[in-house]
Amino acid sequence: MENGRGEEEGYDRAKEVKQFDDSKIGVKGLVDSGITSIPRFFIHPPDSLSCTATPTATAIAASPPASNPIPTVDLTDFDSDRRSIIVDQIRDASRTLGFFQVTNHGIPSEVIDRTIAAIKGFNEQSVDIKALHYNRDVGRSVSFSSNFDLYTSKAANWRDTIELRWGPNFDISEIPEICRSELVEWDRQVQRLGETLMEILSEGLGLEGGRLKALSCTEGKTMVAHYYPFCPQPDLTLGTSSHTDPGVLTVLLQDQIGGLQVKHGEHWVNVQPVPGALVINIGDILQVISNDGYRSVEHRVLANHLLQPRISIAIFFNPSKREDLYGPLPELISQDKPALYRPFTLSEFLGRFFTRGLGDKSLISHFQL
């Protein structure tokens, strides 16, 4: 018999979640223990798992207007006469899909390989060593846990995460030594790329290239490195629930395992890994700032059915001025295109994000006029 929450009588979800969290073993620890079925709090409702038998990009191409849903943009010579071409390609992808990949971005392949290997190495240490870093203390520069929203989400995701909150008081010594130098270098490399992309995105809106940087959009950063181990029942759960990113811009390094999907119309489209490429997507705040000139689009990660782990490292760019007001830029408002959102502070915006589950409705709906 089920109660009003749809749970079976006698099942104490809160107790089971707390036991898992207190164990500090993470999802990787569950896999290493030899489980053949996943704990109940990882099981997602069937409607959120729909379309996991995803149509390929080729199949969707037969149904206009999408011809190649997730484009790859070559950044070679972006400061030459190719710049206008690159601006147009990124603007078009950001207006329609919210996602694109970039190649020839200037980050050496050996840096990419070392970063992925470092995250793999951290997660494949013994449980006892990783447990020393396991915490949910948002006041610290670095945390390691399974599911930041474990206690508030409707269903947990099959992954473990190390999170770095870069800022003026960031304590580098909190980063586990096994991946410290690699993550510091990755942040340095992505910072440069992020500033380039902000320029291009500004120009794509018809603005001066430094407009987004002037709003401090390149100064606030969070890095999350996800480890998705093998899941014995991948058809019952997700690696990451469907969501939109709350920030300005996300730069994602994914390995070659695959599993990232983007909502395109009524379909989930695979973001096929491209060797050496980085995945870029628009966040909610940039959709608001651009007055819907750019789109923040739902995406998710399927549970990993392979014995080989999937690894991804995302850097979220956010404004650093938490108490300034953010809303549609005055240059993008007119009589024909009035403001679509009310202004808000970053504190208010992110406060909503962290008090709800990852799979809940897009944040920006709360700020629409």
Q: What is the DSSP string of 307-346?
A: SSPEEEEEEEEE-S-TTSEE-S-GGG--SSS---B--EEH
| Cβ atoms 24, 135 nearer than 8 A | no
Residues 6+ apart with CB under 8 A from 84: none
Residues 6+ apart with CB under 8 A from 226: 159, 160, 161, 239, 240, 301, 310, 311, 312, 313, 314
Cα dihedral 191, 196, 199, 203 sign: negative
Residues 6+ apart with CB under 8 A from 331: 206, 207, 211
Q: What is the DSSP string of 202-245?
A: HHHTTS-TTHHHHTTTTTEEEEEEEEE---S-TTS-EEEEEE--
pLDDT of residue 2: 40
pLDDT tens-digit profile of 277-315?
999 999 999 999 999 999 999 999 999 999 999 999 999
Q: Which two tokens stand for residue 344?
A: 């808000």
What domains, with CATH codes, occur in the chain? 13-367 (2.60.120.330)
Regions of the chain where pLDDT drops below 70: 1-9, 51-68, 353-362
pLDDT of residue 321: 85
pLDDT of residue 4: 37
Q: Which two tokens stand for residue 115?
A: 């970063």
pLDDT of residue 95: 96
pLDDT tens-digit profile of 105-162?
999 999 999 999 999 999 999 999 999 999 998 888 999 999 999 998 999 999 999 9
pLDDT of residue 66: 37
Q: Which two tokens stand for residue 100?
A: 């694109």
Give, in degrees to the nearest 5, the angle at Cα 353 between 214 and 168. 45
Alpha-carbon gap, residue 278 to 60, rounded angstroms: 23
DSSP symbol at 368: B
